[in-house]
Amino acid sequence: YLHPLPLALSWAVQTIGWLLVVDTWRRILRRTGGDAPLRRHLQLYAYTSLARALPGRWWAPVSRVAFYRRLGVPGLAVGAATVVEWLLLGLAGLALYAAAVPFARSLPPEGGALLGPAGLAALGILHPRAFARVLALAGRRLGYDGAPPRLTASELAGWFARELVVLALSGVGLFLLMLAI
């Protein structure tokens, strides 16, 4: 027997989080060189999220590139936005994990020691100058003309904060779902 109130609240919280993550994706993609109406972003994000259920993690980014290419968005812009989104989401997850560790009742998993260096590597990749260099190199190799977009530290910080909120909402949504069950 499911309790309807926490179940409905869970759905509402998850929906708000999903809308926030799609809007964050839209903002990142706009800065890396592509855009579409919000309605198309909602559709395409939903379709490409379904690809995560398929074996192999590469289906989600490949399907994003394919769908957005139909809208005239260059693959490099979609790829760059995907890298930024995933690194920021990973960093947000690391931040929440680090905040929760003092309250844990058991030791972190064996790979826990690698999380700090992985977070530092992600920060290094996202550094505006480093990211612009990597994007320029990728653009030359893929035959794209034009200067790569230069992301600012304030943009990255804002997107990071949004991803942190998305993960926190996911946790609240899961908690409410467990209450419903």
Q: What is the pLDDT of residue 171?
A: 95
Contacting residues for 163 by C-beta, under 8 A, at least 6 apart: 21, 24, 85, 88, 89, 91, 92
Q: Is the pTM of this model over 0.85?
A: yes
Distance between CA atoms of residues 94 and 75, nearest Å: 28
Q: Which residues of the chain have pLDDT under 50?
A: none
pLDDT the model gives residue 68: 93
